[in-house]
């Protein structure tokens, strides 16, 4: 039985502008006793249907699936996934020989709040961030196969670390469809091992594809330092771009193994590359020879709003070290993937770092997440990745 939730008077306004969340403070009462992950129907105080979505525990109590009064069936998932695939074809990341790595579903950006699906060749890796999506995982996998047909053999479910831990679902990662040992995917003609079994996120950072391409254009003849390299996406592009030398740094020894494997996969025996398992801050402090091009792509320093001020200081400290050390005429690619830090705040943090170093700095490009990580215009919170490309005199 679906519960009916009634909003306080006037609290339907943001939902009528299609913002897809109901906050706990907006709820007047609920007819029924929903458990986390159940479907609930949302009504205004005067009894008008507003939306249907997944109930969850916390400050967001409903994530909206539809603003129409419909049943959430297998056909619903097939329709939503079909639209998502059409969008990826329209932007030219799906259905290509030289690129089979892309994000098919980006949560609210694709009107499927709490769900992420990344495609790596013939395998889709699915990640649920809500209990509601977790309960729908089999239906979604089935619909995905229906929509992608022969293009898809395997669906790997990887939600061990993304589901609310308090829900105590005890979910283990594993295949919902097929099973595959083949772990090489292609991004813009470059090959990458994707560790969907144990890797971070869905195994790869798909969101830097366009920014890696831009970096490739700047790499020719330069010495490149790729900080926070993880699987070495930027390193491999820099090598194809003709970098003179590429150094990759990550504090995780496993990441260093991954970057070495990916460089070997694309450029066997190429001795321009070297990887270091070291803390980024220490590496910059101890660095003797300055580089011509530095990439700073750290993990989210602010996972939530409370950590904002400290995170901004972290970005300033990190960027200041790069400004101190980069060659005159050097290029800095600097990023933040913290959703809690907005574009202006990040730019201010980097501005502060530049001012501290006293270097002359020009902004060449302002970067963001790619088109397969779309932002729902009614849900600006979906914007998270920002970057600057700087020329340091």
Residue from 205, 204, 206, 211 nearest 241 by CA: 211
> Judged by CB under 6 A, does residue 301 bind ligand SAH?
no
Coil, helix or strand for 14?
helix
Q: How far is CA 265 from CA 176, 192, 243, 254, 270, in A?
A: 29, 7, 17, 17, 10
Residue 255 as a binder of ligand SAH (CB under 6 A): the answer is yes
Give whichever of 36 and 216 is closer to ligand SAH, judged by the CB atom: 216
Handedness of CA 24, 25, 26, 29 (dihedral sign): positive
266 binds ligand SAH (CB under 6 A): no
Residue 237 binding ligand SAH, by CB under 6 A: no
Instruction: Choose which of 208, 219, 223, 376 interacts with ligand SAH (CB under 6 A).
Output: 208
Number of H helices, E strands in the chain: 10, 20
Select from 124, 297, 314, 331 the one that contacts ligand SAH (CB under 6 A).
Answer: 297
The answer to whether residue 233 forms part of the interface with ligand SAH (CB under 6 A) is yes
Q: Provide the token pair at 34.
A: 């929903």
Q: Phi-psi region for residue 315, left (φ > 0), alpha (ψ -120 to 50) or beta?
A: alpha
Nearer to ligand SAH, 5 or 275 (CB): 275
Q: Show the beta-strand stretches assigned E in the chain.
A: 3-7, 21-23, 27-31, 39-43, 49-55, 60-66, 101-106, 115-120, 123-128, 154-157, 174-177, 184-187, 190-193, 223-227, 245-250, 273-277, 293-296, 330-336, 361-368, 386-392
Member of 58, 189, 242, 299 binding ligand SAH (CB under 6 A): 299
Task: Work out how close the CB of 101 gets to ligand SAH at its nearest, in angstroms, rounded to a whole number.
Answer: 12
Interacting residue with ligand SAH among 6, 230, 291, 315 (CB under 6 A):
230
**Candidates 42-50, 81-89, 215-223, 224-232; binding stretch for ligand SAH (CB under 6 A):** 224-232
- Say how many C-beta atoms besides its own lie within 10 A of residue 343's C-beta: 14
Closer residue to ligand SAH, CB minimum distance, 254 or 343: 254
Please give the DSSP secondary-structure letter assigned to residue 146. Answer: H
Q: How many residues touch ligand SAH (CB under 6 A)?
A: 18
Q: Which is nearer to ligand SAH, 36 or 297 (CB)?
A: 297
Answer for which of 77, 102, 156, 234 binds ligand SAH (CB under 6 A) is 234
Does 310 participate in binding ligand SAH (rule CB under 6 A)? no
Residue of the chain from 36, 250, 292, 372 that contacts ligand SAH (CB under 6 A): 250
Query: Which of 44, 100, 162, 231 is the binder for ligand SAH (CB under 6 A)?
Result: 231
Distance from CA of residue 120 to its chain's centroid?
Answer: 15
Residues that bind ligand SAH (CB under 6 A): 205, 208, 228-231, 233-234, 249-252, 255, 279-280, 297-299
């Amino acid at each position: 039985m679906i519960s009916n939730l009634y909003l306080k008077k006037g609290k339907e306004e943001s939902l009528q502008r299609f913002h897809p969340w109901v906050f706990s403070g907006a709820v007047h009462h609920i007819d029924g006793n929903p458990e986390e992950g159940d479907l609930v129907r949302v009504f205004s105080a005067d009894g008008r249907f507003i939306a249907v979505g997944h109930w969850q525990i916390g400050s967001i109590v409903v994530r909206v699936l539809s603003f129409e009064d419909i049943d959430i069936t297998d056909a619903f998932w097939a329709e939503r996934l079909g639209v998502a695939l059409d969008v990826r074809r329209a932007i030219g990341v799906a259905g290509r020989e030289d690129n089979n790595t892309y994000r098919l579903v980006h949560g609210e950006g694709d009107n499927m709040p709490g769900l992420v699906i990344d495609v790596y060749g013939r395998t889709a890796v699915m990640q649920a961030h809500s209990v509601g999506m977790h309960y729908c995982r089999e239906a979604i996998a089935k619909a995905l196969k229906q929509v992608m047909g022969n293009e898809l053999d395997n669906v790997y479910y990887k939600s061990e670390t993304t589901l609310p831990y308090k829900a105590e679902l005890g979910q283990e990662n594993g295949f919902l469809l097929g099973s595959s040992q083949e772990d090489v995917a292609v991004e813009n003609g470059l090959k990458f091992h994707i560790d969907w079994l144990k890797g971070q996120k869905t195994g790869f950072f798909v969101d830097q594809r366009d920014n890696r391409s831009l970096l490739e254009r700047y790499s020719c003849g330069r010495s490149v330092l790729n900080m926070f390299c993880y699987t070495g996406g930027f390193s491999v592009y820099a090598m194809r771009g003709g970098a003179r030398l590429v150094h990759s740094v990550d504090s995780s020894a496993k990441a260093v193994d991954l970057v070495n494997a990916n460089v070997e996969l694309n450029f066997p025996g190429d001795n321009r590359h070297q990887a270091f398992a070291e803390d980024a801050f220490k590496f910059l402090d101890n660095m003797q020879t300055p580089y011509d091009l530095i990439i700073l792509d750290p993990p989210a320093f602010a996972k939530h709003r409370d950590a904002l001020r400290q995170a901004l200081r972290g970005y300033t400290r990190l960027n200041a070290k790069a400004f101190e050390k980069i060659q005159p005429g050097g290029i800095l690619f600097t990023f933040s993937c913290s959703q809690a830090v907005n574009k202006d705040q990040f730019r201010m943090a980097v501005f502060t770092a530049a001012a501290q170093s006293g270097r002359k700095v020009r902004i060449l490009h302002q970067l963001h997440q790619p088109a397969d990580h779309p932002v729902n215009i009614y849900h600006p919170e979906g914007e998270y990745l920002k970057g600057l490309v700087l020329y340091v005199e």
